[in-house]
Chain A
Amino acid sequence: MALLRQAGRVAWKDLRVELRSKEIVMTMVFFATLLVVIYSFAFPASDIELVRGAVPGMLWVALAFTGTIALGRAFDRERENDTMRALLLSPVPRLAVFLGKAIAMTALILAVAVVCVPLLALWLNAPLFAHPGELALAVVLGAIGIAFIGSVFAATLLKVRSRDVLLPVILYPLLVPLFVAGTKATAALVAEPSNVELAWFWIRFLGIYDAVFLVLSLWTFESLVIE
C-alpha cells in the first residue's frame, strides 16, 4: 500500500511538472492532430468501407508515435536537469519510481487518445463511438502496455547517445502483439455489423499481455536501471 502511495507521489510530481509547462501534452496532441489531418488526405473520408478498414490502424499508429515522443521527452527532462539521480536517491523504492513514471506516462498517452478518437470520428466519419465503453477499455489497456514497456527501455536508454532512434527500434517489435490485439479489437468494434464478442476476446488478450509485461517490467526494472 505504501508502495502505491509513493508511486502516486512520483506520478503526481511528473504530472504537475507537465501541467505547469504543458510541453509534452501540447506537442503530442498537436502532432496527433496533424497525423489525423494527414490520414484524412491519404484515405478519402467519403469511402466509409475504406475508413472502417483503416481507422483501427490510424488510431494505434497515432498512439504508438505519440507514445514514443512522450517517452523520449519525459525521460530527457530528467536527464537534462540531472534529476533522475535525485529521484533514484530519494527514500522510496525504485519500484515506486518506476511505477510512478509509468502511471504518469499512461495518463499522457490517454490525453492524446482523448483528442485523437473524436477527431478521427469527426474528420473521417469513423464510427468509433458505436461502442464507447469497449473502445475506451481497449485504449486504456493499450496505453498501459505502451507506457510500462516503454518506461523500462526509456529509462535504460537514458545515458545512451542515440536513444531517440533506438527507443522505437527496441519498442515497436516488442509491442507488435499489443498493436495486433488493439487494432483487431478496434476493427471488431467499428465493423458493420460490429462484433462485440470478438472485441472482448482481444480486450482480454490485451489484459493478459499487460499483466505479463507488467510483472516482467517490475521484475527487471531494478536490474536494468543501475546508475
Chain B
Amino acid sequence: MKRLAVPILAALSAITLAVSIHYIFVKAPIQYTIMDGRLFQSSLFFNQKIFYFHVAQAFMLFAAVGLAGITSAIFLKTRNPKWDDIAAAAVDVAVLFGAVVLATGSIWAKAAWDVWWNWEPRLTMSLLLWLILVGYALVRKFAGPSADRVAAGMAIFGMVGVPFIYKMVGEDSHPPSGADGVVMNLGAEYKIAFLMSVIAFLLWFVTLTIMRVQTTRAEREARELRERGLDLGVLQ
C-alpha cells in the first residue's frame, strides 16, 4: 500500500487536473460584465482563466508553508528528525508553488494592471516569503551538519518577520480574498471549475510532498548510516 501511494496519488492528480482543465476552458464562461450597455473596465475575458491556477497554487503555497512551520516547531520541541524531514520537504514544495504563484500573478497583473509587477503589500509579502523560502532551501543544501538548526531559526524569524511587511508598503490593490473576496462571490459555473482546480492541485501537492519526504528521509538515513560506519571504523 505504502509503495503504491505515490503512483496512485499522481494518477489521481493527473485525472483531476485534466477534468479541471476541461471545466476551466470549456465549461466556465468567459468572464466579462456589461454595465450601461458598455463593457465594464475590469473585464478580463480569457485572461481571467489564470485565476484558477494562481489562486489554487497560492492556497497550496500557504498549505506548504503552514506544514513547514508546524513541523519545524514540533521538531524544535521534540528534536525528532522525522519532523525535520517533513519541514524540509514542505519548504522545497513551497518554493516550487511560490514560483508558480509569482509567475502567474505577474502574467495576470500585465493583463489587468498593464504592469508586470507592483510593490503592493500582498505582492511584496509573497515575494519576501518566497525569498525566505529560497534562502531556507539554500541553507539546507549548503550549511552541512548544522543545517537543521540554522534552518529552524530562519523559519521562526521569517514567520515573525513576514507579517511586518504587510502593513508597510503602498496601497492594497490586489483583488480581495477571504470571506467577502473574489472566491466567495464567484458564480456557480466558475465555482465548480475553481473547486476542481483546488482539488487537483491539492492532490498534486500531497503527491509532491510525500515524494520529497521520502527523498529527504532517505538522504538523512544514508548520512546517519555513513556517520555510524565512520564511528565504527567500517568506512573510511
Contacts and interface: CB of A to CB of B under 8 A. Distances in A.
A209 interface: yes
A176 interface: yes
Contacts, number: 80
Interface of B: 76, 128, 131-132, 135, 138-139, 142-147, 149-150, 152-154, 156-158, 160-161, 164-165, 168-169
Given A157-B143, A160-B144, A224-B149, A216 B156 contact: yes
Given A152-B153, A153-B153, A174 B142 contact: no
Contact of B161 (A160, A177, A223): A177
The CB with the most chain B CB atoms within 10 A, among A156, A162, A173, is that of: A173
Nearest to B153: A224
A173 B144 contact: no
B169 A169 contact: no
Contacts of A224: 149-150, 152-153
SS of A interface (majority): helix
A166 B165 CA distance: 23
Contacts of B145: 159
Contact of B164 (A165, A170, A177): A177
A170 B155 CA distance: 10
Given A156-B146, A177-B161, A177-B165, A170 B156 contact: no
A102 B76 CA distance: 24
Contact of B132 (A153, A173, A216): A173
Nearest to A224: B153
A166 B142 contact: yes
Given A170-B135, A216-B156, 8 more contacts: A157-B146, A157-B150, A166-B138, A169-B139, A170-B154, A176-B161, A180-B169, A224-B153
Contacts of A209: 164
B89 to A, nearest CB: 20
Given A177-B168, A224-B149, A212 B160 contact: yes
A180 B168 contact: yes
26 contacts: A152-B157, A153-B153, A156-B149, A156-B150, A157-B143, A157-B146, A159-B144, A159-B145, A159-B146, A160-B143, A161-B144, A166-B138, A166-B150, A169-B135, A173-B135, A173-B158, A174-B157, A174-B161, A176-B128, A180-B169, A213-B161, A216-B156, A216-B160, A220-B156, A220-B157, A224-B152
